[in-house]
Amino acid sequence: MSGLLRKSPAWMPVFVLIVSMLSIQSGASLAKSLFPLIGAPGVTALRLALGTLILVIVFKPWRLRFAKEQRLPLLFYGLSLGAMNYMFYLSIQRIPLGIAVALEFTGPLAVALFASRRAVDFIWVILAVLGLWFLLPLGQDVAHVDLTGALLALGAGAGWAIYILSGQRAGAEHGPATVAMGSLIAAVIFVPLGVLQSVDVSWHWSILPVGLAIAVLSTALPYSLEMLALTRLPTRTFGTLMSLEPGLAAISGMIFLGETLTGTQTLALAAIIAASMGSTLTMRRETKIQKVDVP
């Protein structure tokens, strides 16, 4: 497919990236539909186990060699990946998908903003804070969002931030193959935890096809498509397009889960998207963008 993408029109990488984001959010919607059967922790365990299996088969992480100074970042990388997925699924059990993704996006947004000291970035900080204020159930509870769910989504965002910072050091030599090792570390911790917390009576073979679909939609397919797009798109374009993900998550939640947002929530989500897009478009050239699905 990489050869086909190189010969394709200029708009094809953009289309591929949009398909990747739609795949991720469709996988998240499918995962949420499975919550009544085995709970959010159980779905986390199922998705992480099957997704890790796919990544291990593709990248063969046992062949990788990590330098001593990379091992601690690799550990944090794997733990943050698992924690991010675990808290995100717990959050969407309580709050709409679009709101959860918007709150989670504050993690990479914070990394980008803390790396800059320019006056223009205060605009994006203000937009992000306004978005958070109207999404979080503070004061008069204007957004009508479950506080625990919102805090879990913010926790997933913090995990995403740690994932970015540690991944830049852990993956310096091995690139995307590092994801397989990080996912393996995450699986060792969070798969047993998720299984222990799931509804045991509902664990049976019939859920495996759905679990495999979640792993493919949320992990194998989007990872592959994003890598193809990233090699063909400028960093700014890639980051700007990725900023649309909370909006796509909201649309996915409406279509597949029947979730709706209030006018205030929609404006708050738009503010966070605008802050993410603005920080990407005005970032310095040396700023790096890394993406991992959660969803």
| 293 within some domain | no
Mean predicted lDDT score pLDDT of the chain: 79
In a domain, 88, yes or no: yes
What's the predicted TM-score (pTM) here?
Answer: 0.82
If residue 178 lies in a helix (H) or strand (E), which one and from where to where? helix 177-197
pLDDT digits (tens, 9 = 90+) for 26-39: 999 999 988 888 88
Residue 289 has pLDDT above 90, yes or no: no
Please enumerate in sequence order all residues whose Cβ is within 8 A of that of 17, keeping only pairs 6 or more positions apart, or say none: 225, 226, 229, 233, 238, 241, 242
- pLDDT tens for residues 65-80? 777 777 788 899 889 9
Q: Closest Cα to residue 223, out of 193, 284, 179, 162?
A: 179
pLDDT of residue 294: 44
Classify residue 289: in a domain, yes or no: no
**What pLDDT does residue 154 have?**
93
Is 260 part of a structural domain of the chain?
yes
DSSP state of 63: G
Closest to 44 in 3D by CA, of 245, 189, 248: 189
Structure tokens at 72: 């601690």
Residue 140: pLDDT band (50, 70, 90) is very low
In a domain, 292, yes or no: no
- The number of distinct structural domains making up the chain is 1
Q: What is the pLDDT of residue 176?
A: 63
Burial class (CB in 10 A: 0-12, 13-18, 19+), 138: middle
Is position 45 within any domain? yes
Report which residue type is found at 86: Y
Average pLDDT over residues 87-97: 93
The answer to whether position 290 is within a domain reads: no
Q: Who's near 41: CB < 8 A, 6+ residues apart?
A: 86, 89, 90, 193, 194, 195, 196, 197, 198
In a domain, 287, yes or no: no
The pLDDT-based confidence of 92 (bands split at 50, 70, 90) is very high
pLDDT in tens, 196-227: 887 655 556 778 888 899 988 987 788 767 76
Host H or E run for residue 175? none
- Give the tokens for residue 253: 């939640």
Q: How confident is the model at residue 152 (pLDDT cuts 50, 70, 90)?
A: very high
pLDDT of the residue at 87: 96
Residue pair 97/259 in contact (Cβ under 8 Å)? The answer is yes
What's the domain range around 31? 2-281
Q: Which tens digits make up the pLDDT trace of 4-28?
A: 445 566 667 788 888 888 898 899 9
Judge whether residue 145 has pLDDT over 60: yes
Percent of the chain with pLDDT over 70: 78
